[in-house]
Amino acid sequence: MKFVIATLPGDGIGPEITEQACAVLNKVGQLYGHSFEFKEYLVGGAAIDKVGEPLPAETLAGCLASDSVLLGAVGGPKWDNLTGDIRPEQALLGLRGELGLYANLRPAVLYEALRDACLLRPDLIGDGIDIMVVRELTGGIYFGDSGRRQGPNGEEAYDTELYSEMEVERIARTAFEIAMKRNKRVTNVDKANVLESSRLWRSVVLRVAEDYPEVELNHLYVDNASMQLIRDPHQFDVIVTTNMFGDILSDEASMITGSIGMLPSASLGEGRFGMYEPIHGSAPDIAGLDKANPIATILSAAMMLRYSFDLEAEAQAVENAVIQVLDAGYRTGDIFSPGMKLVSCKEMGTLIAEALK
């Protein structure tokens, strides 16, 4: 089978980690008889420097013409002083909106080999952590009306949280469908005691839950949920929540698994098309030094194999290769501990590719 993948290396460590994920996909292709064609496009700060905008029309057209998208990272202090409409991060919002990617899947898994990197007490870790955060991606406060105006106390700024029934229903169904393939537990996270948008959100989630009687549903306010993730992570299986709450909670979940450099994500729309990216940032302080951890990007490529290409065996092979390399004691700097074998970004990618079976 042949697949065309639009690659968006972006800024900072983006080009380095994307290169390693593509190398692993090429090895998958060799082993399983697939062909992956990578077409590279500008995005983020790199695009601003070259053409003056974070999401060029050519990049968007290339993504729409591909079978899937692999994104590295965008942003950095170089572009921090730009106005909001042309900052590198605008490319992410543009891609999600234009590609119709409304469901963001962020798994948070603590690998056995990295138990010592977890910041929680051993008794809280138990037999491991495995949480899937399902974040709504094209609505809410990031896409609502925003602006500035003059008020009685000087300049005011506002951002609007807005959700429709349709937007809530489709993300809720995504969460319940995923839960049906896991441990059949969904935790809805909102702020229904304060926000009208959250009250609509909860009512729609309750309605959708009626179609999934096998799934246990419970609700947490977002402030309590942030505490419960630390106090008892085992209570969570699938978390479904809004765009902003999901952005925050998924990063919190990443830290209880040892390193944000380990966690992948998938952004999905209707059908099988998706955009895949690590949830960490561009880490400009180590860009070009071959120190980055490529595992999150490689695991994002595994999610691409599973969700966009329906290649479950290939996805599991990549995930098993990551586990094998970690079990053998190889570590990049962000997850290194005494007694382990420190390797570079490129070396980690090569080891994972060589471990594929």
Q: How many CB atoms lie within 10 A of CB 231?
A: 11
Cα–Cα distance for residue pair 325/20, rounded to 1 Å: 15
Number of residues assigned to the chain: 357
Place of tokens 């079976």: 357
Distance CA 86, CA 173 (A): 34
Are residues 150 and 99 both part of a single domain? no
Give the distance between the most distant pair of CA atoms in the chain.
67
Q: Are residues 136 and 241 in the same domain?
A: yes
Residues 98 and 185 occupy one common structural domain:
no
Q: Is the distance from CB of 314 to CB of 138 less than 8 angstroms?
A: no
- Boundary of a domain, candidates 231, 256, 281: 256
Q: Which residues pair with 156 in a beta bridge?
A: 149
Residue 113 lies in a domain: no
DSSP string, 67-132: SEEEEEE---GGGTTS-GGGSTTHHHHHHHHHHT--EEEEEEE--GGGGGG-SS-HHHHTT--EEE
Three-state secondary structure call for residue 316: helix
Separation CA 176–CA 252 (nearest Å): 22
Looking at residue 85, its pLDDT comes to: 76
The answer to whether residues 133 and 248 belong to one domain is: yes
Residue 114 in domain: no
Q: Is 32 exposed, middle or buried (0-12, 13-18, 19+ CB in 10 A)?
A: middle
pLDDT at 320 (0 to 100)? 97
Amino acid at 25: L
CA distance 289 to 18: 15
- For 249-278, the DSSP string reads HHHHHHHTTT-GGG-EEEEE-STT-EEEEE
Same domain for 268 and 252?
A: no
**CA-CA-CA-CA torsion sign (322, 328, 334, 335):** positive
Same domain, 85 and 180: no
Could you list the pLDDT tens digit for every one of the 357 residues in the chain? 899 999 999 999 999 999 999 999 999 999 999 999 999 999 999 999 999 999 999 999 999 999 999 999 999 999 988 887 789 989 998 999 899 999 999 999 988 888 887 778 888 887 778 999 999 999 999 989 999 999 999 999 999 999 999 999 999 999 999 999 999 999 999 999 999 999 999 999 999 999 999 999 999 999 999 999 999 999 999 999 999 999 999 989 888 887 777 889 999 998 889 999 998 889 999 999 999 999 999 999 999 999 999 999 999 999 999 999 999 999 999 889 899 999 999 999 999 999 998
Q: Nearest CA to 125 among 109, 138, 148?
A: 109
Give residue 57's identity as a one-letter amino acid code.
A
pLDDT tens-digit series, residues 238-279 = 999 999 999 999 989 888 887 777 889 999 998 889 999 998
Q: Based on the domain organization, do 283 and 348 belong to the same domain?
A: yes
Question: How do residues 90-126 score in pLDDT, each as one tens digit?
Answer: 999 899 989 999 999 999 998 888 888 777 888 888 7
Residue 285 in contact with residue 268, Cβ under 8 Å? no
**Is there a domain that residue 44 lies in?**
yes
Please give the backbone phi and psi of residue 159, each rounded to the nearest 5 degrees, phi first. -135, 135
Instruction: Clarify whether residues 190 and 301 are in a common domain.
Output: no
Domain membership of residue 295 (yes or no) is yes
Check which CATH number belongs to the domain holding 201 and give it. Answer: 3.40.718.10
> Are residues 87 and 132 part of one domain?
no
Containing H/E element for 133? strand 130-136
Same domain, 78 and 165: no
* d(C-alpha 307, C-alpha 221), whole Å: 30
Where does a domain end: 210, 227, 256? 256
Is the residue at 294 inside a domain? yes
**277 and 325 assigned to the same domain:** yes
Number of other residues whose CB lies within 10 A of the CB of residue 7 = 23
Residue at 45 is within a domain: yes
* Whether 244 and 269 share a structural domain: no
Say how many domains are in the chain: 2
What amino acid positions are annotated as catalytic residues?
Answer: 142, 191, 223, 247, 251
- The angle at the Cα of 292, spanning 287 to 295, to the nearest 5 degrees, equals 145
Query: Quick check: is 112 in a domain?
Result: no
Q: Which domain holds residue 273?
A: 1-107+264-357
Count CB atoms within 10 A of the CB of residue 97: 15
306 in any annotated domain: yes
